[in-house]
Amino acid sequence: MPFVTESQPAPWRERAPAAIAGALLGLSMLLLLRRYWGLDHDSALYLGQALLQRWPEIYAKDLFFAHGSQGSYTLFPWLIAQAMEWLDPSTLFRSGALLGLVFFAAAGWYALRALLPPEQRYWAWLGVVCLPTVYGTTHIFGYAESFMTPRTFAEPLCLVAIGLLARRRWQLAAACAAVAGVLHPLQAIAAVLVVWPWLVTQDRRWLHAAWLAVPVALVAMAGVRPFDGLFRVIDPAWMEELLRFNGQLFVSRLRPFDYKTVVLDTFLLALAWRSLRGPFGTWCAAALSGLWLGLLASLLLVDALHLELPAALQLWRAHWLAHWFAMAAMAALLYRDARSGDGPRGLLLALTFLIAWGTSAWMWLLPAAFYVAWPYASPHLRPRVRLLLGALFVAIMLVLLANHVMGELMAFERVAHRLDLYAIDRRLLLFPLVALGLPLLGLLVWSHCGERRRLILVALILCPLLVAALVRWDVRHPTTRALESNAFRSDLFGVELPTDAQVFWDGVSLVGPWLTLQRADYFSPQQVSGVIFNRGTSRDAIERIERVGLLSQQSLYCRELPPGSDEARACHADDDALRRACGPGPAPGPDYLVLLVPQPQRAAGTWTVEDPVEGGPLATYYLYRCTDIMAELGRPPAAE
């Protein structure tokens, strides 16, 4: 296991302390870095799909479900709906997120154990646990997510399948891949794009799998759903809507930082393929092939030809597994350089990664080129020059670290140094030099300790570290905790909301209407995340944005004013914004508004979230009935 360096496996009794220490260290870093923010991101969407299973009479007319949703392609919502019979949603999703992280760590170890020698595989495992997980559109996607979705379990299952393939256990690997596909078809298909090139390297007859495209094409021409979208072109109007709401579907729409991540992963995978060889090098080559197969296929079929089914399949998602291998490769290459005694070369690679991670600029290509040329230039460098170069690399990294620390301390100061409002400990750990450097420092200390001192390290440092990681893992904002702890409270504001009510809750995620009030949400940006699967959703969303967009803009303006100022106290949405939201129009409006900014009109009810630290109100929400608002506003003034 982790810290063992012997070429022959030692008896379990001798390996146990190292195995326990390695697991404690890795899990502690995983939990310290992947904190739980609550029912957020896609977990809120899958919560809604489970709620739809149980209460279709309430949620069927919600924008996210009115025209169908991607929930029909996964078994996950049904499983969650069954589990909600035993656990409340907040506990269920929090427990599922923790279980998913542990499963991901174990699955990653299982895969790497078959691909790398003992100590190098542990460095690689720390790489995938500690280094940045973002891929694709990097402000949206990342593996090992700290919330529960089908991806939480589909990705570890894909990693287990890779471990089984490396061990030539074909049937079990196929079974794991199938279960992953039932949970999240897109992530499983993306993994297949990496697995297939690897299979071809093992036996070229796997090239014949490409012939499967023929029956798929025939089924598509026969009009069988969803394959009928294989040759159907997205019309210009829908294309415009997709670009507006789901720009991440298109490779050509990635930001410079996203392209840089793709190129960095390509660089690391190519290095590992050419330098590390063996089973891991072969898988890195397959990951590199799968990454560009997915990107180019998506670029051709979606960005150029605008085909409907390829857009829904999102083949660029092969990047998740390629990025996983790239982070493992990064740490494995560092181990190789450290083990060979070429410290400056390893420091140069670390510096290259830090520059690439910290900026969208392409200056990192210069040290990357220097790293590639190092084996040819190094023999001609004097020892003193090599030492000075190593010191220079360290100095630059420390400057980058200091800049990161200063920025985070300033942000921490803006929230009055409150850990419940800003997880400064996690923010500092996110810097890759710290995230990977600290556990590697722990390895160094471990290697220089005797048996008794190692037991002391486990008892006095690693066990308390894991406890601290568990305590600090749940960093939900107090408002988020309040929303989740008041589940299914349709009378939360002192008014019982009708079952068919549509609620527009400004500035809060879908959790507010769906879980807290147990009512349909009128509009939230999250509801348009899956418009590629349902054309009607985007059309309906545009009409609803026209209704509540001005109200949201004015409410946001008021919330951004200095708290307690006269201007903030007097600020509210104007009559035109309220009429547009609640008045008659081509599309039905919401029945209720929930706002953080009090209006001159009479509120139907209020709800205050108490500050758990300082006491007093942290936030007050105001419920308005649209019929009451329109009655108070009266008729609009006649146009002159």
pLDDT digits (tens, 9 = 90+) for 217-274: 999 898 888 888 899 999 898 898 888 888 889 999 999 899 999 999 999 999 999 9
305-323 average pLDDT score = 95
pLDDT digits (tens, 9 = 90+) for 513-548: 999 999 999 999 888 887 777 777 888 889 999 999
pLDDT at 12: 58
**C-alpha triplet 283, 284, 285: angle, nearest 5°:** 90
pTM to 2 decimal places: 0.94
Strand partners of residue 622:
595, 606
Of the pLDDT bands very low, low, confident and very high (cuts 50, 70, 90), residue 1 is very low
pLDDT digits (tens, 9 = 90+) for 589-621: 999 999 999 999 999 999 999 998 888 888 999
Per-chain mean pLDDT for the chain: 92
User: What is the share, in percent, of the chain residues with pLDDT greater than 90?
Assistant: 76
pLDDT digits (tens, 9 = 90+) for 369-426: 999 999 998 888 888 999 999 999 999 999 999 999 999 999 999 988 998 889 999 9
Backbone torsions φ then ψ of 87, nearest 5 degrees:
-130, 145
- Half-sphere exposure for 222 (CA within 13 Å, toward CB): 8
Gyration radius (Cα) of the chain, Å: 27
Residue 1, number of CB atoms within 10 A of its CB: 21
Give the Cα separation of 447 and 481 in Å (integer): 43
Give me the DSSP letters along 522-584: S--GGGGTTGGG-HHHHHHHHHHHHHHHHHHHHHHHHHTSPTT-HHHHH----HHHHHHHHS-
Give me the DSSP letters along 316-333: GGGHHHHHHHHHHHHHHH
Give the Cα separation of 395 and 403 in Å (integer): 12
pLDDT at 2: 47
Give me the DSSP letters along 34-85: S-B--S-THHHHHHHHHHHHH-HHHHTTSHHHHT--GGGG-SHHHHHHHHTT
pLDDT at 635: 61
29-40 average pLDDT score = 95
Of the pLDDT bands very low, low, confident and very high (cuts 50, 70, 90), residue 636 is low
Of the pLDDT bands very low, low, confident and very high (cuts 50, 70, 90), residue 483 is very high
Residue 139, number of CB atoms within 10 A of its CB: 11
pLDDT at 283: 98
Per the listing, tokens 């850990």 go with 419
DSSP class of residue 639? P
Q: Is 373 helix (H, G, I), strand (E, B) or coil?
A: helix
pLDDT at 232: 92
563-569 average pLDDT score = 86
Q: Calculate the CA 492 to chain-centre distance.
A: 31
Which amino acid is present at 433?
Answer: L
pLDDT at 5: 41
pLDDT digits (tens, 9 = 90+) for 338-378: 999 889 999 999 999 999 998 768 999 999 999 999 999 88
Is the pLDDT assigned to residue 13 strictly greater than 70? no
pLDDT digits (tens, 9 = 90+) for 568-593: 889 999 999 999 999 998 888 999 99
Is the pLDDT assigned to residue 119 strictly greater than 90? no
User: What is the share, in percent, of the chain residues with pLDDT greater than 70?
Assistant: 97
pLDDT at 637: 52
Give the Cα separation of 104 and 329 in Å (integer): 18
Which amino acid is present at 291?
Answer: L
Total residues found in the chain within this entry: 640
| b (16+ CB within 10 A) / e for 403-432 | ebeeebeeebeeeeeeeebbbbbbbbbbbb
pLDDT at 9: 56
